[in-house]
Amino acid sequence: MDAAWSAPLLVGALEAALERFRPHVPSINALNVFPVPDGDTGTNMLLTLEAAVRAAQGSRAQTAGELLREAARGALMGARGNSGVILYQVFAGLAEGAIGEWTITGAALARGLTAGTRLAYQAVLNPVEGTMLTVLREMGQAATEAAQSDTRIASALLAARQAAIQTVRRTPELLEILRQAGVVDAGGQGLAVIVDALAAFATGSEPVIELPEMPLAAGRIAESMAFLDRLDELPGEEAFGYCTNFVLMGDDIPLDEFRQRIQQLGASAVIVGDRRTLKVHVHTERPGLVLEAALTFG
């Protein structure tokens, strides 16, 4: 069981997570009914994870903390969709938890997951429980508790994996639309697959989340499509609009004012970054108006 990860080991762990995630993409896409049922959660998380891994592979960082900072930057620029932008916040949190660290221990991982949870909840303008936010929070709490008695990264990852799997199973109890669709949260499942792969890497074992069989995935897609056909009949459901993603750059972007303006023009908005670079994801019926408004800020 690994006690800590150096920068080279961290790259290997991220590569292992990426390769394990790929075959899960179709089944994760099939689970996607919230916040917008566009069937791309797995794809968006994959693209974001690929960007983070490319940045890590190309890094010359000597420390694990610096490597995570560069991986987070890669995830920011490559983030796609609601789930991808939240996954970037996980990387940003891990980088924050590992500032100044040569290696990543269980304690650093726990700090990082806790920071990632805080950043993710701040980024989502209307956070909802029963989503990947809930799964991330429970992962952080489990890792923190484990690290109090065992600082090995393997122990923290095992605890986070168990929490992720258990919380994903509970998501339909927390979010009514998931219960009606008969699915678990797609983004939460994606997080569980990633932490499962990382835990397997740290312990030298096989992942416990089985690879989905394509007939099963196809059946789940059919079930999800049947549910989507009924979405218009559900009370309170509004038009989802166009999935709009862009990077905004400026010298001193007023974050609160910008968030308020975007929230007025769309739904399911997630905004991450800093006063110089923001990654924006929003669903809107008026993408041109959103872009025009954004250009007044940067």
Model pLDDT for residues 9-50, shown as the tens digit of each residue: 999 999 999 999 999 999 999 898 776 667 789 999 999 999
Beta-carbon contacts of 80 under 8 Å, excluding residues fewer than 6 positions away, are: 40, 43, 44, 47, 48, 245, 281
- Residue 195 belongs to what domain range? 7-233
Please tell me what DSSP assigns to residue 238. Answer: -
Beta-carbon contacts of 281 under 8 Å, excluding residues fewer than 6 positions away, are: 79, 80, 81, 82, 84, 85, 243, 244, 245, 268, 269, 270, 271
- 98/19 same-domain check: yes
pLDDT bin (cut points 50, 70, 90) of residue 3 is very high
Mean pLDDT (whole number) for 202-217 = 78
- 175/216 same-domain check: yes
pLDDT value of residue 213: 57
Domain assignment present for 1 = no
- 123/254 same-domain check: no
Mean pLDDT (whole number) for 50-59 = 98
- 54/119 same-domain check: yes
Peptide bond just before 254 cis, omega within 30 deg: no
Domain count across the chain:
2
Residue 289, amino acid: L
- 93/139 same-domain check: yes
56-65, 75-84, 151-160: least confidently modelled range: 75-84
pLDDT value of residue 240: 59
- 281/135 same-domain check: no
Domain assignment present for 283 = yes
Q: What is the mean pLDDT of the chain?
A: 88
Cα atoms found within 13 Å of the Cα of residue 26, Cβ hemisphere only? 13
- 258/125 same-domain check: no
- Pick the last residue of a domain from 216, 233, 250: 233
- 177/32 same-domain check: yes
pLDDT value of residue 216: 40
pLDDT value of residue 241: 72
- 247/214 same-domain check: no
Q: pTM of this prediction? A: 0.85
Mean pLDDT (whole number) for 165-188 = 93
Domain assignment present for 148 = yes
CA distance 153 to 105: 5
Residue corresponding to tokens 């939460």: 188
